[in-house]
Amino acid sequence: MSVSETSTAARARFETVCGPLRADLYRYVLWLARDRAIAEDVVQDALLRAWRAFGSLDEATSAKAWLCTIARREYARRFERRRLEVVDVADLEALEDPALAGEDDAELADVRAAMWALEQDYREPLVLQVLMGFTTEEIATELGLTPGAVLTRLFRARQKLRAALTGGSDEP
Amino acid sequence: MNCLDVRRALGAEPARRGPEIEAHLGSCAACARHTAELARLDGVILRALRVPVRSPVPLPAAAAPPTRPRLWAMAAGLAATAVLAAVVWSAYPREALAASLVGHMSHEPESRVRTDVPATPAALTAALAGSGVSIDPAAPRVSYAMSCLFRLRHVPHLVVQSDSGPMTVMVLTREHVSGREDFDEGGYRGVIVPARHGSLAVLAPTGTPAASVDDTLARVTAALHYAD
């Protein structure tokens, strides 16, 4: 097989493997960044890095975790420092992306608002589990935590969401 | 397992139910109701997380992955890549140049330190490679040099020491401006001016005297040499 054929095949595989993951990858970064423009920039750069490093991806089945890792690092590298400097709880409403707020379904809007208010330590593992379909072990690897710590955060995240949505206690 | 154990386990992993949990749920109506509530909540969470996506982020242009460095193959694909890149580039939503520059400032904060240590000739060479620009390294007191991805192109990113502190210089040979643009946003004061090829930008923290920015701009401009 010639090099050009190899490149064509690699490109086709990249599009097959990574193309369908773009929407959820974008949503994942959006829930990290809470800003559409930032999420689009981060995913754009992450896909570029992924394409450049595509030769290092051996198993198509690990593509989702691989892409998430790239995007997460890209987000941290580019924006986390700035976010830590500017984000304040009191400013959250002002910074909220309209896409995460109003919707015809009031319950969805309430859940999004509650998700929005969750601390990142609780929100991110929940997003990885529910949206991205990661196992506890995969989340632990992605976040550099023990599986036990991930379970605790997932449990607490749901507790907090229930409490926020029902106005009640977050006891189980 | 008691009720608390079951609720803790399902609260972390609603989909993972071992025989012990199933047995408890079969005999505890309260926990069964709680589990049903959790399942419903997870369904709503999933729907909430799936925010509408206006259009998928485009895949990057099909340049050959660098993991297989075959020069002749890369050269053969260059023309097609350039055409595709131009198409993608023209479709890419562009923000104001000043906003892009300010956004880029968060990338390498460690570069903006006061120092008397100049960038090495090797770092300067690497940063300027392919840009069609060379610089007299001594004159503008360059302390940092990097080739950065900026608006989908690699551009020289320099930090120049001045009496007012370090200033960032971006050599934007493919970004054209019609005239001088001054800006002060996002914590940075800056200026973008037309250059022999493209433009040149200098950024410093807000509050830096405009005269110092202009002085750095003048020193850098005098030290840059553009290939024809």
Query: Using CA atoms, how far apart are residues B165 and B216, in angstroms rounded to an integer?
Result: 10
CATH number, position A164 = 1.10.10.10
Query: Using CA atoms, how far apart are residues A106 and B56, in angstroms rounded to an integer?
Result: 26
Q: For residue B214, give how far its alpha carbon lies from the nearest alpha carbon of chain A (Å).
A: 27
pLDDT in tens, chain B (228 residues): 788 888 989 999 988 888 999 999 999 999 999 999 889 999 999 999 998 887 778 888 765 554 544 444 555 556 565 555 555 544 444 458 888 888 888 666 667 778 888 887 877 887 888 888 998 867 788 988 888 777 767 789 899 999 999 999 999 998 899 999 999 988 899 999 999 999 999 999 999 999 999 999 999 999 999 987
Residues A66, A5, single domain; the answer is: yes
Long-range contacts of A80-84 (CB under 8 A, 24+ apart): A81/B106, A81/B109, A82/B106, A83/A33
Q: How many CA atoms lie within 13 A of B30 on its CB side?
A: 6
Residues A6, A85, single domain; the answer is: yes
pLDDT at B84: 57
Interface test with B, best of A11, A32, A54 (most B CBs within 10 A): A11
Residues A4, A46, single domain; the answer is: yes
pLDDT at B83: 57
Closest residue of B to A11, CA-based?
Answer: B62
pLDDT at B74: 54
Spatial CB neighbours of B188, under 8 Å, sequence gap ≥ 6: B101, B102, B105, B203, B204, B205, B206
CA distances from B132 to B82, B135, B156, B158, B175 (A): 18, 10, 10, 15, 14
pLDDT at B167: 94
Query: Using CA atoms, how far apart are residues B129 and B171, in angstroms rounded to an integer?
Result: 12
pLDDT interval class at A93 (50, 70, 90): very low
Residues A33, A72, single domain; the answer is: yes
What residue numbers bound the domain in which A128 lies?
A: 101-172
Q: For residue A165, give how far its alpha carbon lies from the nearest alpha carbon of chain B (Å).
A: 10
Spatial CB neighbours of B74, under 8 Å, sequence gap ≥ 6: B64
Residues A141, A106, single domain; the answer is: yes
Q: For residue B31, give how far its alpha carbon lies from the nearest alpha carbon of chain A (Å).
A: 10
Cβ(A68)–Cβ(A23) below 8 Å: no
- CB-CB neighbors (< 8 A) of B52 in chain A: 99
Please give the mean pLDDT across all residues of chain A. 80
Spatial CB neighbours of A153, under 8 Å, sequence gap ≥ 6: A121, A122, A125, A126, A145
Specify which residues B148 forms β-bridges with. B155
- From A78, A97, A116, give the residue that closes a domain: A97
pLDDT at B86: 52
The arrangement of strands across the sheet holding B142-150 comes to: B142-150, B153-162, B165-172, B199-205, B188-194, B181-185
The answer to whether residue A125 scores a pLDDT higher than 90 is: yes
State how many domains chain A has: 2
What interhelical angle do A36-52 and A3-18 show, nearest 10?
150
Residues A79, A132, single domain; the answer is: no
Q: Which of B48, B56, B93 lies nearest to residue A108, judging by beta carbons? A: B48
Mean pLDDT score, A158-167:
88
B42:A130 CB<8 A: yes
**pTM of the predicted model as reported, rounded to 2 decimal places:** 0.54
Cα-based torsion angle of the residue sequence A124, A128, A132, A137 in order, rounded to the nearest 10 degrees: 160
Percent of chain A with pLDDT over 90: 35
Token digits of residue A134? 């990661």
Residues A45, A115, single domain; the answer is: no
Residues A79, A119, single domain; the answer is: no
Phi, psi values for residue B117, rounded to 5°: -85, 120
- From A70, A97, A124, give the residue that closes a domain: A97
A51:B65 CB<8 A: yes
Long-range contacts of A81-84 (CB under 8 A, 24+ apart): A81/B106, A81/B109, A82/B106, A83/A33
Minimum mean pLDDT range among A116-125, A128-137, B102-111: B102-111
Residues A14, A74, single domain; the answer is: yes
B76:A23 CB<8 A: no
- CB-CB neighbors (< 8 A) of A107 in chain B: 44
Residues A12, A86, single domain; the answer is: yes
Cβ(B173)–Cβ(B85) below 8 Å: no
Cβ(B51)–Cβ(A99) below 8 Å: yes
> Closest Cα partner for B198 from B170, B160, B158, B167?
B170
Size of interface A-B (CB pairs under 8 A): 131
Query: Using CA atoms, how far apart are residues A12 and A8, in angstroms rounded to an integer?
Result: 6
Q: Is the pLDDT higher at A9 or at B159?
A: B159
Per domain, the residue ranges of chain B are 3-49, 96-226
- CB-CB neighbors (< 8 A) of A158 in chain B: 11-12, 38, 41
pLDDT at B118: 83
pLDDT digits (tens, 9 = 90+) for B141-158: 898 888 877 776 778 989
Which amino acid type is present at position A6? T
A81:B106 CB<8 A: yes
B57:A44 CB<8 A: yes
Q: Is the pLDDT higher at A44 or at A85?
A: A44
Chain A, residues 20-59, CB within 8 A of chain B, namely 22-23, 25-27, 30-31, 37, 40-41, 43-45, 47-48, 51-56
pLDDT digits (tens, 9 = 90+) for A21-79: 999 999 999 998 888 888 888 999 999 988 888 877 776 557 888 999 999 999 888 76
Residues A92, A107, single domain; the answer is: no
- CB-CB neighbors (< 8 A) of B70 in chain A: 3
Look-up: residue for tokens 């620009």? B133
Length of chain B in residues, anyone?
228
CATH number, position A75 = 1.10.1740
pLDDT digits (tens, 9 = 90+) for A94-119: 444 445 544 457 788 888 889 988 99
pLDDT at B4: 86
Residues A107, A158, single domain; the answer is: yes
Q: Which of B13, B34, B51 lies nearest to residue A154, judging by beta carbons? A: B13
B51:A112 CB<8 A: yes
Spatial CB neighbours of B30, under 8 Å, sequence gap ≥ 6: B3
Token digits of residue A145? 């935590």
Token digits of residue B136? 């007299």
- From A66, A97, A128, give the residue that closes a domain: A97
